[in-house]
Amino acid sequence: MGKVTLRNLAAHKIRLVLTGVAVILGVAFVAGTLIFTDSMNKQFDELFSRVGTNVAVDVRAKKVVDGDDDGMAAQPVPATVLKALEGVDGVKDPKGNVTGYAAVVGKDGKVIGTPQNGPPQIGMNWTGTGIYDLSAGKAPQGPGEVVIDDRTAEKGDLAVGDTVQVLTAGPPQRMRVVGLSDAGNLMGATLTAFDTPTAQKLMLKPGYFSDIEMGSSGPSQAELRDRVAKVLPSGMEAVTGEKLREEAKSDIATMMNFFRTFLLVFALISIFVGAFIIFNTFSMLVAQRTRELALLRAVGAARAQVTRAVIGEAVAVGIVGSTLGLLAGAGLATMLQSQVGDAGDGGLTFTATPVIWSYVVGIVVTVVSAYFPARRAAKIPPVAAMRDDVALPQRSMRIRLALGSLLTLAGAGLIGAGLAGNGGNPVIPVGVGAFAVFIGVAMLAPVISVPVLRVLGAPAARLMGSPGRLARQNALRNPRRTAATAAALMIGLALITTVNVLGATMRASVDDQIDSQFGADYLVASEGAGGVAAGAAQKIQAVPGVTAASPTYVGDAKIAGKDASYISADAAMIVKAAKLKIVSGGADLGNAGIMVDEDTAKDNGWKVGSAVPVQFTDGKTERLTVTGVYAKSDLIGTRLVSPQAYMRHTLNPSVDAIVVDAAATTAATKTALESALKEYPNLKVSDQSALKEDARKQVDGFVTFLTILLVMSVIIAAVGVVNTLALSVIERTREIGLLRAIGISRRQLRRMIRLESIMIAVFGAVLGMGIGVAFGAALQNALAEDGLGVLAIPYGTLAIYLAVAAVIGVLAALWPAWRAGRMDVLKAIATE
């Protein structure tokens, strides 16, 4: 039987190559993801191996609140602690570090780097014994000198001796570049270094450090940590250098694991789609070799031998596809690295993991997909070799209808339960539910295809004459095959449609929120992570026509024992700016007040006058009085704290945004504001329309990114249409010869095959878009209370996708139609 398997592989090279393409694309996605994340992990490991070098113990403030700022809200360490540490036995070379936000403006007037949702812009003090070395110039000395890293200098076209503008939380600084640092691969981040007093003044506060690190003159890290802890004041902690490095690596590992899982989900979708193609291809191959397989049974081959012969072909396809997919995956990983800028400069890292998983996924998926056709082939009775009309046994449509309906309903129930929440992880039930719905609809597709294809094929049958009627009949001839081919396209377009419906819903919901909740004339905010610099508010207030400019702050605290974020600002201004509806109480926060929304008040049993314990990031607890309760606001959130209370517990306050009211919201006013803030290139002045546009751009970027990831599954589905048509043409060789003999032209024959392909592709698109709209509506309904209050269906985009599906059908039919048109009529008629 081994020879039979090899002979069949040689006899069906083109068909199996097309099947292998589905394996290659799916495996390439898996391999590319694993190679890319392995490469990035290695680069992060190399980067963090330099963090904490020669550090035995690090002293820092205890983190009271686990906020989203990843520890940046922790209080700084007083310089007096450094003096105390110098007297601890075993402490070697203690030094204080200052870190914070600092960005450099290039010669083009733009901030260097990609601050919005991009790599950090790091400012630090130059200690002379850090992990970075000078590559040119000298160390900074005095308030007018700065050192920047080589890559930042290259991006900004800067050199030693140039004068640059440096942005920090304070006023912009004009400083001279006195040195360049060889910072290695900072993964796209920018590095700016000052002398210690300057760094403290610009990024922290004079007399304070972000942390203090030290080496050991003999004791172990754990022993030295315990000694250091004894002299620390309340609110400070000592950790070993090893723990410091582990924390840094752990944070990155968590991020990379999420990114890997995120990409692998899309890889599995592509593999899932490919499984349909492989199943369909082997089903058709087995059907075309029915007499051959029956003859093998007649000459003594056992059922198991026939099954193994077909499975052997699948294994061969899986091995070849996995090998080529692994190579393609390396190319995909290279492309992914090129999209992450400087972070991808470290080259690829190859480990055993992507190799093993590539072959496991490729071979297992191919074998499993081919198993059921192989089982059906083994059931062919030997006597069937004597008959002309032998066919593979088919299961009843009733069983398929019942099982498909059950899976679809069960999947919909799981999706509903997952989206309902109930405190659990919704990803698993939603994912399993979606999988069940796809399988269920794929099983129902043969039943659905008959009425749908009659409708879709009606225009072609009426307008295209005989080719149109024949195309519709061919598509309807084998509903199972048509459905299996269309199902692959259905899955990809269902997910793409879901993403687009969700994107349109997000855009419509944000527009509605801004219209209904944004009452200010302008909002001034930073496009990076540095917040609004000190002094900007005064410049805004000095603009003619500006009637009010109120800074807002964002903080984290333990409120009533639970970690929570809050907004701090002048309540009267915020009530107007956010169109807050006061349910009870008033907007006078006073010196120690807090306002909460209705849901928060209800959940905690608070009312106007209630005392709420709040532990701030400095570790101190204060009881704030509820002065007002307001209706839910997506723009403000659930808590508004008195600015005085925020200032009392924040050593280095940072303005998040400035709310601006003006006498007239004209283009001249906005231009005047932008002109007043021209020395702050990281700040943006936005009116209501600009806020909407920014939100749309973010949503569009999100939708585009996910759509690109899902395009792979659509490409695989298109390959499946090509495969099905090519095998169908071979299967109908005699029929095509007879059609040519009775007068149908080559052009009409090619048109018939193209129309059949278009019908199959459009059928898959209609099914997919229908499911996608249903999924999108379910997501909107589940998230209506979380900001997605407006369901929007992008009809124009869906029409484009339908047209794209038709184009896919045309392209998929090119080669099969060309091959059919070149058939010799007499040889085709003589084919058995």
Q: Are 206 and 78 in contact (CB under 8 A)?
A: no
Residue 533 has what pLDDT?
A: 84
Residue 566 has pLDDT above 90, yes or no: yes
Length of the chain in residues, anyone? Answer: 832
Q: What are phi and psi of 658, to 5 degrees?
A: -125, 125
Q: State both tokens at 801.
A: 């996708």
The tokens for 674 are 């932008």
- Tell me, yes or no, whether 312 and 232 share the same domain: no
Q: Write down the residue that tokens 């019942």 correspond to.
A: 402
Quick check: is 423 in a domain? no
Region 313-338: mean pLDDT is 86
The DSSP 8-state label assigned to residue 619 in this structure reads S
For residues 780 and 788, the answer to whether their CB atoms sit within 8 Å is yes
| Count of Cβ atoms closer than 10 Å to residue 795 Cβ | 10
Region 1-13: mean pLDDT is 60
Lowest average pLDDT, out of 25-39, 357-371, 411-425, goes to 411-425
pLDDT at 788 over 50: yes
- State residue 11 phi and psi, 5-degree precision: -80, -20
The backbone torsions φ and ψ at residue 186, rounded to the nearest 5 degrees and listed phi first, read -90, 15
Q: Count CB neighbours of 3 within 10 A.
A: 8
> Could you tell me the CA-to-CA distances from 22 to 19, 445, 484 in Å, in that order?
6, 21, 14
Residue 596 pairs with which residues in a beta bridge? Answer: 629, 639
- Percentage of residues of the chain with pLDDT beyond 70: 89
Beta strand ranges found along 189-261 (DSSP E): 190-194, 208-209, 211-216, 236-240
Structure confidence at residue 313 (pLDDT): 80
Residue 684 reports pLDDT greater than 70: yes
Give me the phi and psi of 566, to 5 degrees please.
Answer: -150, 165
Which secondary structure element, helix H or strand E, spans residue 519, and what is its range? none
Which are the contacts of 150, defined by CB distance < 8 A and separation ≥ 6? 135, 180, 181, 182, 183
Angle ∠(52,58,63) on CA atoms, nearest 5: 115
Alpha carbon of 584 to those of 580, 601, 627: distances in Å?
12, 11, 9
Phi/psi-derived region of residue 478, left when phi > 0, alpha when psi is between -120 and 50, beta in every other case: beta
Q: Please compute the mean of the pLDDT values over residues 383-412 and round it to a whole number.
A: 71
What tokens were used for 208? 């304070």
Residues 246 and 234 in one domain: no
Q: Supply the DSSP symbol for 231.
A: T
Identify the three-state secondary structure at position 180: strand
Lowest mean pLDDT among 49-58, 467-476, 541-550: 49-58
Dist CA 301 CA 751 (whole Å)? 43
- Whether 403 is covered by a domain: the verdict is no
Residue 373 in tokens: 């056709």
**How do strand 639-641 and strand 562-569 relate by DSSP bridges?**
parallel
Of 239, 274, 302, at which residue does a domain stop? 239
693 in any annotated domain: yes
pLDDT class of 301 with cuts at 50, 70, 90: confident
Is the domain of 285 the same as that of 230?
no
pLDDT exceeds cutoff 60 at 600: yes
Please determine, for residue 346, whether its predicted confidence score (pLDDT) is greater than 90. Answer: no
Tokens read off for 276: 């349909």
- Highest mean pLDDT out of 142-151, 362-371, 412-421: 142-151
Backbone angles phi, psi at 627, to 5 degrees: -100, -15
Inside any domain, residue 795: yes
User: And the tokens for 451?
Assistant: 């009425």
Q: Are residues 781 and 656 in the same domain?
A: no
What 257-265 contacts at long range (C-beta under 8 Å, 24+ apart), as own/partner pairs, is: 259/37, 260/33, 260/34, 260/37, 263/29, 263/33, 263/36, 263/37, 263/709, 264/30, 264/33
Same domain, 25 and 107: no
Q: What is the mean pLDDT of residues 68-75?
A: 49
- pLDDT tens per residue, range 650-670: 888 889 999 999 988 888 999
Question: Which residues span the domain enclosing 623?
Answer: 522-686
Q: What is the pLDDT of residue 271?
A: 84
pLDDT band with cut points at 50, 70 and 90 for residue 68: very low
Q: Quote the CA–CA distance of 527 and 530 in Å, as a whole number.
A: 8
Query: How high is the pLDDT of residue 69?
Result: 43
**Residue range 56-67: mean pLDDT, rounded:** 83
SS (H, E, C) 326-356: HHHHHHHHHHHHHCCHHHHCCCCCCCHHHHH
Calculate the alpha carbon distances from 767 to 22, 401, 411, 522 in Å: 21, 16, 16, 45
Same domain, 209 and 328: no
The Cα–Cα gap between 517 and 578 comes to 5
pLDDT of 73 reads 46
User: What gap in Å lies between CA 589 and CA 612, rounded to an integer?
Assistant: 13
Q: Specify if 83 maps to a domain.
A: yes
* Judgement on whether residues 189 and 257 belong to the same structural domain of the protein: no
Q: Which of 89-98, 276-285, 431-440, 583-592 has the lowest mean pLDDT?
A: 276-285
Specify the amino acid at residue 83. Answer: K
Per-residue pLDDT of 171-215, as tens digits, reads: 889 999 999 988 665 556 788 999 999 999 998 889 999 999 999
Quick one: 679 and 809 in the same domain? no
Query: Most confidently modeled of 181-190, 271-280, 281-290?
Result: 271-280
- The mean per-residue pLDDT over the stretch 123-132 comes to 79
The amino acid that residue 773 corresponds to is V
Statement: residue 89 has pLDDT above 90: yes
Higher pLDDT, 353 or 302: 353
Please state, in angstroms and rounded to a whole number, the distance separating the CA atoms of residues 365 and 383: 33
Nearest Cα residue to 502 out of 361, 678, 704: 704
Is the confidence at residue 84, as pLDDT, over 80?
yes
Q: Report the distance separating Cα 238 and Cα 231, nearest Å.
A: 10
Question: Quick check: 409 pLDDT over 70?
Answer: yes
Provide mean pLDDT across the span 605-615.
Answer: 94
- Split at pLDDT 50, 70, 90, the class of 132 is confident
What does DSSP assign to residue 545?
T
User: Among the three residues 239, 271, 301, which one is the final residue of a domain in this structure?
Assistant: 239
Number of domains in the chain: 4
Q: 149 phi and psi, to 5 degrees?
A: -80, 160
pTM for the complete prediction?
Answer: 0.80
The pLDDT assigned to 497 comes to 93
Q: Are residues 363 and 509 in the same domain?
A: no
Q: With CA atoms as reference, report the closest residue to 659 among 482, 472, 521.
A: 521
Both 42 and 103 in a single domain? no
Rounded Cα distance between 651 and 647, Å, is: 7
Of 266, 365, 268, 270, give the one whose Cα is nearest residue 717: 270
- Residue 38 vs residue 646, higher pLDDT: 646
End-to-end alpha-carbon separation of the chain, Å? 24
More confident residue, 46 or 63: 63
Q: What pLDDT, on a 0 to 100 scale, did the predictor assign at position 71?
A: 40
Residue listed under structure tokens 């109120």: 550
Please check whether residue 400 lies inside any domain of the structure: no
Contact (Cβ atoms closer than 8 angstroms) between residue 289 and residue 494: no
CA within 13 Å, CB half, 785: 5
Give the mean pLDDT of the chain: 84
Residue 433 covered by a domain? no
Residue 424 included in any domain: no
- Which token pair is 689? 């329309």
Name the band, by pLDDT with cuts 50, 70 and 90, for residue 422.
Answer: low
- The CA–CA distances, whole Å, from 271 to 21, 318, 725 equal 11, 12, 21
* pLDDT at residue 163 tops 90: yes
At 72, the pLDDT band (50, 70, 90 cuts) reads very low
* Torsion angles phi and psi, residue 694, rounded to 5: -60, -45
Please provide the DSSP assignment of 54-123 as one string: T--EEEEE------TTTTTTSPPEEHHHHHHHTTSTTEEEEEEE-EEE-EEE-TTSSBSS--TTSS-EEE
Q: Which of 216, 239, 262 is the last residue of a domain?
A: 239
Instruction: Dihedral sign for Cα 722, 728, 730, 733, please.
Output: negative
Q: Give the chain's largest Cα–Cα span.
A: 105
Whether residues 227 and 245 share a domain: the answer is no
Do 664 and 804 lie in a common domain?
no
Burial 153-189 (b: 16+ CB within 10 A, else e): bebbebebeeebbbbbbeebbebebbbbbebbbbbbb
The two tokens of residue 313 are 């072909």
